[in-house]
Chain A
Amino acid sequence: MQEPMHECKHNPGFMRDTLVPQVGIITDIRTETPDVKTFRVEALGGGKLFEHMPGQCAMVCAPGIGEAMFSITSSPTNKLYQEFSIKRCGVLTEHLHSLKAGDQILVRGPYGNNFPVETELKGQNLLFIAGGIALAPLRSVINYCLDNRENYGDIDIVYGSRSADDLVQRKEIEEVWSNIPGVNVHLTIDRPQEGWDGHVGFVPSYLQELAFDTNRTAILCGPPIMIKFCLQGLKEMGFAMEQVYTTLELRMKCGVGKCGRCNIGTKYVCKDGPVFRFDQVDALPNEY
């Protein structure tokens, strides 16, 4: 039998059971939208709690309240801290929103696979498509690619939300991403709004207007209905399912493929995912 208290392969130096978290400290909270806040988390002694790859998730826990899986929205290229963009929608997230900088939380991870930034995506033109809070998981990849700009071709970011107020990370998008050569940001909101002179319309229709060629890999994340229509649009543009990646989310308790919740057929979202290519998603039973 193997040694039980082992060194985790995703997480060198982590010698406790993977279910036991570390204490993290919230060093900054940014209010992104009326219901989304971004939490900056550091280890007690400063620095990051652990290393991760873009697309990986972590379990964030408020003792006595609950624990849930959140994608790590900061890029691994950020050496100082990790960030989580969290939308207020349940008991735990409600509590997290009530916290202040300096408060402590428990974090364990990282869990799951990551976007193949060092393999399949390398050297490709990239098309990111996100809706609402779904920018959170993509932001980590986008920033990773931007920080390693030389490894990737053109980068297009199509991002939409209900209103201009609901655009997450708007400052970073407008002040950083938009000013990087070879990066095109396409923002859209669902309904016209005073003070908004950008595009108005749903993400799928905007995507069709933009009419991208298929010489790129798409990374798609958003609410199920948006995914459905975007995917349809990408197919019409001639994209193959092997060219489109997404990240999924289901109820999780353990994060390590044992508690039995997040499986879709034979695949566990926490362990085999959350990042899937759409040809892999298509092969799964329709239960997500």
Chain B
Amino acid sequence: MQELINKAKTLLESGEVARVLGWKKGEYEYDPEPAFFETSESLKDFVYNGFCGANLSKYMIEAGKKEGKTLVFLKPCDSYSYNQLLREHRVDREKAYIVGVGCKGKLAVSKIPFEGILNISGAEYPDAAETLTVETLYGTETIAYKDAMLERCHVCKGKEHVVYDELIGESADTVDADRFAEVERIEAMSPEEKFAFFQSELSKCIRCNACRNVCPACSCRKCVFDSTAFDSEQKANTTSFEEKMFHIIRAFHVAGRCTDCGECSRVCPQGIPLHLFNRKFIKDINALYGEYQAGSDLESKAPLTNFTTEDAEPGVGRG
């Protein structure tokens, strides 16, 4: 972590960057918040640990509108999101100094099943322990680092940054699950079971829009779901239809652009596995139009703005 702070200090003091986008120490180890640092003095609150799961690339849209360069710390998977924003011309590469930071899997405090959590040790950067020690109001507990990891880290896209000016720190391979296993499990269900599954998950939705607002691919100036022109703007969670509409359309609007960064599932206050929608599209795109990873490069044509004359017909695979 000191290495990151030193880098930030050097660049801030030399004037090469006007601000640093990183994570700020919260009340505890487990609640750091994304933050802009404009003075080297303020960097005393900088933190980078296992709980810095927040993907900072979307903040670069706003940062890019400001005077001067912004130093941003991106984890390997965050760099895909940044790259995708770059190819959509939503961020200005010239105004970013990207430090690719190492990542050994990020943690979710919601996955730690103990009550009254005070301190968690073992999540330090770069020497994360195999086991987290959790000090609670009701005693000390331990949990394997892996067990507290975010879902996305179990299907990690790899240790490589796709865009950076400089790399600091080592990353670890955290993959221990098949990315599409859950999608396949659902695909194998009967229509009734599928419907029941999504109904029970989506009926929890409170329409807070956290998934949309955190999503680096959802960068529209005005979302169709905020439009008052017709009744797509439905803040009510009156009926189950309305949630389906929102989540299907949202997933569709980011299809072919979603890097599978997993922020939507991380932020959902109701724990809805929203990545299952995006991953279904990714899986279909891979199967029908060839392997495609959004954000991996700046050149290849996105699957939904491309076609071949031999494409499959709609309803492919139906019985």
Contacts and interface: CB of A to CB of B under 8 A. Distances in A.
Interface of A: 66, 91
A91 B229 CA distance: 8
Contacts of A91: 228-229
A66 B228 CA distance: 10
Interface residues of B, number: 2
Nearest to B231: A64
Nearest 3 Cβ contacts at the A-B interface: A91-B228, A91-B229, A66-B228
3 contacts: A66-B228, A91-B228, A91-B229
Nearest to B229: A91
Interface string B212-233: 0000000000000000110000
A28 B208 CA distance: 44
B222 to A, nearest CB: 15
Nearest to A90: B228
Contacts of B228: 66, 91
A5 B228 CA distance: 32
Nearest to A91: B228
Nearest to A66: B228
A119 to B, nearest CB: 40
A145 B228 CA distance: 40
Nearest to A92: B228
A91 B228 CA distance: 9
Contacts of A66: 228
Contacts of B229: 91
Nearest to A64: B231
B142 to A, nearest CB: 45
B40 to A, nearest CB: 34
Interface in B67-88: none
A85 B229 CA distance: 24
A61 to B, nearest CB: 15
A7 to B, nearest CB: 30
B186 to A, nearest CB: 38
Interface in B226-268: 228-229
A71 B311 CA distance: 60
B232 to A, nearest CB: 14
A284 B229 CA distance: 33
A66 B229 CA distance: 11
A96 to B, nearest CB: 16
B26 to A, nearest CB: 28
B230 to A, nearest CB: 10
Interface in B43-70: none
Nearest to B228: A91
A254 to B, nearest CB: 15
A257 to B, nearest CB: 21
A66 B230 CA distance: 11
A249 to B, nearest CB: 19
Interface string B261-295: 00000000000000000000000000000000000
A19 B228 CA distance: 21
A73 to B, nearest CB: 26
A130 to B, nearest CB: 30
A33 to B, nearest CB: 26
A88 to B, nearest CB: 17
A118 B229 CA distance: 43
Interface string B115-159: 000000000000000000000000000000000000000000000
B236 to A, nearest CB: 14
A66 B233 CA distance: 13
Interface string B167-209: 0000000000000000000000000000000000000000000
A88 B293 CA distance: 49
A183 B229 CA distance: 45
B7 to A, nearest CB: 40
A33 B229 CA distance: 26
A109 B229 CA distance: 26
